Structure 1
Amino acid sequence: MNVRKSILNYLILHSSIVRRNHNKSYQKECRQSGSLNWMEKNRKMKSVRPNYFVCIPLSGNKGLVEELIKVQNHVASKFEMLKECAIERNKFHISLLILHVKKSQMVASKEAFREAIEEIKKLNHQAISFDTLETFRNDVLYAGLKEDSRKYVVNMIALLRDAFTKRDIHIFSNHKGKEEAREKTRPSGAIDKGIGNRTDKGAAVPSTYQCSEKEQITPHVTIMKNSYLRKIYANRKPQIFADYYADFNLSKLQTERVVPNKIQFLEMDTDSATSYYRVIDECGLP
């Protein structure tokens, strides 16, 4: 018995020494190649969460707001639990840029916003229209834009991104990946057991990595998101599957037109005085 125990202790010690030596050797190679700094930076980026965003507010367009609420009610009629996921009617907006701004970057971020707005004002402005209902990872239900409107909004986003990027302010990507494009429908009320609960509020944001210039950002109007759910259901949050919204009649939503009259720079926290996001800055459009 003592012999077996001695052998086991030897193997554990040997394994520990080998692993420690391997880690030291690997880190030395990383330092020589410069990749250790990249690894450390990447680790820190994964812990960064969105706290500010830039958007076009939509609450002034009553016709559009009513249609978006109808979508919410339609989804909730398929799975009542998702009623808690509904975005408040005064918070509908077209997302342009999702950011993490450090306290030390607040002045720079306001400068970036103002700089981008001056360039956006030079664009040929047009009404925005909507086309489809889609989701990010079945967590966020949104209305997508028609192609001409998408291109127009993407031009705005490019100007905003340039202004914030050159000030080294973190921008999040929200483009749809290949896996999202192959979303599967589920029976009404089903919960995908293969996907764990995302407990942080950042789950509403499709991706949490720095967006490169070549990456597409998906302009959209968020309608529902499961990060709004206050309860935890068996360690998972109910998801918004295509069969909950695929049969919704989009004809009226597709006829709605939104003429942007201002762009807002907002903090994600709600202002208790207004029940809206805290406004950092806003600018009117011609």
Structure 2
Amino acid sequence: MPRKESENEREDPRTFELRREHFLRSRRPPEGLTVTQARTSALQSSARLGELSEATLELADTPPRRELELEAPEGHGSVTTAPELRFAPSGFVGEAAAVKLKESDGEEAILKIGLDADEQAGVVVETVRIFQVDGHDWRIVPRGNVARDGTHVWCLLSNGGVFAAAGVVRERSVIAALLASYALRIFLHPLFRERQSFSQAVKTVVKAKDWRALAKRSKLVLDDADAADVKTALDRLRRNLPAVSKIKSPRNGPVEWQILEMLSLTPEGQQLLDDLDILAERKRL
């Protein structure tokens, strides 16, 4: 039978969030699924998220003829290179796109941003996603993915704006710092509200004596499993603290956190998170 919720769990949704994170990290997909296979199955993941037709998925996966390409009903949209961005994360790749769209009876356009070989080598290409950009505010476009061959990233759009692509930088210590900070974000977000930068907030957290001090500061109730996860993340963050300075982050946390959150929604994405976890512990990539 499902266990009865405690008063603390009913009153504090952050406790549920920690338990959810523990559950996601504890899941283990079938043995033998590789990153390459995860990329191949990425379109099926998008289909589950957005219920896309096979024709749409096939069109989205077709390589673009230019660095920026917009698949839209004739005369209903255009794409050009956007002006220089005010902010770009460490894993920014491709060109920023300025998209204009007209209403077209509910039809959506497909934006494609090409990735060259150097850009593919600089990031974990399976993590690249498209974001809508407004100054320092980057919001991931939920219905999109990287192409199976890694040559471009795509998303479905129903509105215009400025869009850009970003992924997780392919550097072991940066991956480790991102994963650890993401696991500790429930403790970092209150510090952002205190106007601390990402680097400042991370330093505040790692100065905590142990997980009990963090839980007390944030008024959280942690069980043994939650506490073990927090301790592991703290240890990892302390070991990779110098890499935090390499993570360009707006005030509300790294753009890459949104990618990690999106990956957690599907089995294939969860496998990729597990692969990133393994990469983070290697001595070199």
* TM-score above 0.5, yes or no: no
TM-score bracket for this pair, using the shorter chain length: under 0.3
Rg comparison, structure with higher value: 1
Higher RCO (Cα < 8 Å, 6 or more apart): 1
Structure 1 length as normaliser, TM-score?
Answer: 0.25
Q: What is the TM-score of this pair, normalised by structure 2? A: 0.25
